[in-house]
Amino acid sequence: MQIYPDTLVRSFHFLALFLAAFFSATVHAAPLPAPPQLSAKSYLLIDNISGEVLAEKNPDGRIEPASLTKLMTAYLVASEIKRGTLTEADPAIISEYAQSMPGSRMFVEAGKSVSIGELLRGLIVQSGNDASVALAEHVAASEPGFVSMMNRMAESLGMANTHFTNASGLPDPDHYTTARDLSIIARRMIQDFPEHYKLYSQKSYTFNDIEQNNRNKLLWRDASVDGMKTGHTQAAGYCLVASAVRDDMRLISIVLGTGSDKTRMAETQRLLNYGFRFFQTKRIYEAGEVVQTARIWMGKSEEILLGVEEDLYVTLPRDAFESLHSQIELSSYIKAPARIGQEFGRSVLTADDKIISEVPLLALQKVEEAGVFRRMKHSILRYFQ
């Protein structure tokens, strides 16, 4: 049988189309596996930049924070340093009350002067209850006064299910928080005070000729982990707030109420590995970037540039970015005068037909109202359109 060249070409073309259709129909993104089920009372995993929740269990369940309380104590001290009301070099006189604190200590001595910087390291690295009280008394003249500041700050940050009764985390029935609220203060410490956050990666600190290691053993086990804080009481169990960076992506994990130090480390590691393995964070829009050029009527310019006020980051399963789509929705009639920052539309981001984020599109430039003749011209054009 004779095969003609054009028939052969058509056959190969058909075969190519068939294979393309077959693979496009059968090759799909791998399904996202379920998060690991941890041996903990509650846990939460979020992306630091986007705030997206990647895994959770009972994130709003009330727990006793133990030494995780010191995240707020350190945040308040860093806030006062930023305000200029104190410096790390300032001396603090240690009271007998501060020295008498039970539990973990940095071993300060009553009547002696210790710098704020030393107390911060004793607070963060050594988890010193005595350092907590010494800082509280120096900042607010008394621990109760400092606790009032802690609760006001918690409210202002949106920590709706948190209440403090002391600066160190000693047990008290009215001293409580949640995994979600702890993620708020951890995220704010990292973002607001990056220089002070570096203290959380310090593996040991020596004061009064006593060297103590950081209780966060993940600092030795995982090079990507650079903070944050452990906590333990009989009621709270073993708890850990941790943060790690891999490939420019920072995650924050909160694991609360495990049965041992070993378990809280292992479960935190599992949670972080899950997040880094299956998720990715990307910047979609940059602040000030032109997202859309729109028609503006009655203005000296006939176009206006629209963009976003802040960088927009999105965290998605790694394969989901292939389906990420932006739908631009503009106001039906954009009219001058227009001021910078005025909203004229929005960008709706979807992935796999689900709305991921909606961000307003704002004017990046000022457009003044045109003269009477241009406005008349625009009125006629709009009438016929």
| Active site amino acids | 67, 70, 127
Q: Which amino acid is at 199?
A: L
Residue 20 and residue 4: Cα distance in Å, rounded?
25
Angle value at C-alpha 75, between 73 and 80, nearest 5 degrees: 100
Residue with tokens 């050029």: 293
Torsion sign, CA atoms 92, 98, 103, 108: positive
Q: Where are any strands of DSSP class E within the chain?
A: 42-47, 53-57, 91-93, 113-115, 204-207, 210-213, 225-233, 237-246, 249-258, 279-285, 290-295, 303-307, 312-317, 325-330, 343-351, 354-363
Q: Tell me the three-class secondary structure of 246-257, residue by residue.
A: ECCEEEEEEEEE
Q: Work out the number of other CB atoms within 10 angstroms of the CB of residue 86.
A: 15
DSSP letter string over 83-138?
HTS--TT-EEEPPHHHHT--SS-----TT-EEEHHHHHHHHHTS--HHHHHHHHHH
- Beta-carbon-side half-sphere exposure of residue 314 (alpha carbons within 13 Å): 20
Residue 314 and residue 285: Cα distance in Å, rounded?
10
**Could you give the 3-state DSSP secondary structure of residue 30?**
coil
Instruction: For residue 352, count CB atoms less than 10 angstroms from its CB and return exposed for 0-12, middle for 13-18, buried for 19 or more.
Output: middle
Residue 2 and residue 93: Cα distance in Å, rounded?
103
Q: Which 8-state DSSP code applies to residue 310?
A: S
